[in-house]
Amino acid sequence: MTEFGKYWIDKRAAPAVASMAPGLLLLCSALLLLCTATGCEAVFGQADPSSTASTSTVKELGDESLLEDAEFSADPESDDSATTDVEPTLRGPDELLDDIRESLAETRNRKRPKGRIIRETWQAAQEQYVAAGVLACAELAEHEEATDEQLREAWKSKAVLLYRAAEYGWPEFDDRLHRTVDQIKQTRFIEEAEYADGLLLVHRCIERKMPVHEVVEKLTQHAHEFPGGDTCAKLFVAYARKLEERGLKSSAKLCCQAAIWTLHDHPEIAAIRHQLSVLNAKANIARNWVAASAAVQLKPDDAIQRELDLQVAQIRGSLPMRVDSATTLTDVSAGSRSINYRYTVTMTAQQMKSQKAIIQQKVTQLARSVSATRIILAKGVSLNYSYHAADGRQLLFFSVSE
């Protein structure tokens, strides 16, 4: 065929081929769609015949609104997931203890890191460790296979974790610690209950600036609730040291004296006497404490009077002592089985007259409710209170006895 003939045929066939191109493309697309719809897995008998789109296609859409308008109906007989109950995996006591100990180890350091972002990240991690540890403690406390030793560790660890969270100042952990202490007191684990109650006292009383007499009263109640416990003397000593750090040396001495009155038969009473002797040495009155150690060889009445003289001498070493914005303790003296307190007030005679009944009622109630002074009153000692104006005029006087 000549070149002209080939050209003429190609030119005449081009429109026909062009007109057939869409049809060929449509046929190819249909074949491709058929292949993808059927898939190789259908050929091998592994595909789901009801599936018309792959899982990756649905994931790539990622638009939940497309699924909201669709209506799905599941056949309960063919839906295995609806009828299958998945049983939770229960962890054993040893595994729970490992989680608890890890939480304790990770929350031991109470020093907050510097930097806002680092501190926030650190706090979030601490909260997760505390939550995980408390949850593991709760699971272990209810575990049927846990031994007594494991239960003891679970309760004690839970109290420690909640105490650390409460010390961080996180909301609600103070109340959670209080509830946990009450729960432990309902168990047979007395030592763990004592330890947890001591943590609560440290958090709420010793680490907070509460009135000294209120804290001493709380510590005394703790000692009466757990007589002979390991934490009773330690709490008194710790509070006395905390008061000394705050510059309240006279209050620290009074705390030790109250502990001696309360824990006179406690095996750890020597630690309290040692702390008091340290305070006396710093105040240059240690000789009074040495003299008081011989009081046990005297008659009971003489021993009581000697103890009163010692307490008065210790208090006088720290005078004057400001009680509140209007009252200052300026002098203390020991009489015959009595202690005399002299206060100077910034009130006028008219103001004192209007407040006289209230002051006497509050002081009397306080003296008879605090364990340390209640023990003194029970031994026949009277407490005399006199209030004077700045010029020395006596504005009020009353006595408190048993």
Summarised one tens digit per residue, pLDDT across range 265-284 is 888 888 888 888 887 777 65
Q: Which of 337, 332, 348 is nearest to 388 (CA)?
A: 348
44 pLDDT above the threshold of 70: no
Greater confidence (281 vs 220) lies with: 220
Q: At what angle do helices 148-167 and 93-106 cross, to 10 degrees?
A: 30
Q: Looking at the predicted structure, is the pLDDT value of residue 172 above 50?
A: yes
d(CA 316, CA 304): 18
Out of 71-85, 135-149, 388-402, least confident range: 71-85
Asked if pLDDT for residue 45 goes beyond 60, the answer is: no
What is the per-residue pLDDT for 310?
80
CB 197 within 8 A of CB 181: yes
If you average pLDDT over residues 288-308, what whole number do you get?
56
Q: How confident is the model at residue 138 (pLDDT cuts 50, 70, 90)?
A: very high
Q: Inform me whether the pLDDT recorded for 29 exceeds 90.
A: no
- Across the chain, what does the average pLDDT equal? 76
- The helix/strand/coil state of 334 is strand
Of residues 152 and 59, the one with the higher pLDDT is: 152
- Any alpha helices (H) in 283-383, and if so which ranges? 286-292, 300-316, 349-369, 371-378
pLDDT the model gives residue 262: 85
Note if the pTM is more than 0.75: no
Q: Is 19 helix (H, G, I), strand (E, B) or coil?
A: helix
pLDDT at residue 283 in the model:
66
Is 319 in contact with 332 (CB distance < 8 Å)?
Answer: yes
In the chain, residues under CATH classification 3.30.300.250 are 319-402
Name residue 321's beta-bridge partners. Answer: 329
φ, ψ at 142 (rounded to 5°): -100, 0
Fold of 319-402: GMP Synthetase; Chain A, domain 3 (3.30.300)
- The mean-pLDDT minimum among 158-172, 243-257, 279-293, 304-318 falls in 279-293
- Judge residue 398's burial from the number of C-beta atoms within 10 Å of its C-beta, 0-12 exposed, 13-18 middle, 19 or more buried: middle
Can you give the pLDDT at residue 52? Answer: 39
pLDDT above 90 as % of the chain: 29
Residue 34: per-residue pLDDT: 39
User: What integer pLDDT is reported at residue 83 of this predicted model?
Assistant: 47
Q: CA–CA separation, 210 vs 320, rounded Å?
A: 21
**pLDDT average, residue stretch 119-133:** 91
Indicate if the pLDDT at residue 301 is higher than 50.
Answer: yes
What's residue 334's pLDDT?
87
In 44-115, which residue ranges form alpha helices assigned H by DSSP?
Answer: 55-61, 65-68, 80-83, 93-106
Measuring CA to CA, which residue among 123, 105, 216 is closest to residue 165? 123
Higher pLDDT, 323 or 89: 323
Q: What is the mean pLDDT of residues 191-215?
A: 90
* 8 Å CB contact between 232 and 226: yes
Q: Given strand 327-335, what is the order of strands in its sheet?
A: 321-322, 327-335, 338-345, 382-388, 394-400
Which pLDDT score is estimated for 87? 54
**What is the per-residue pLDDT for 17?**
44
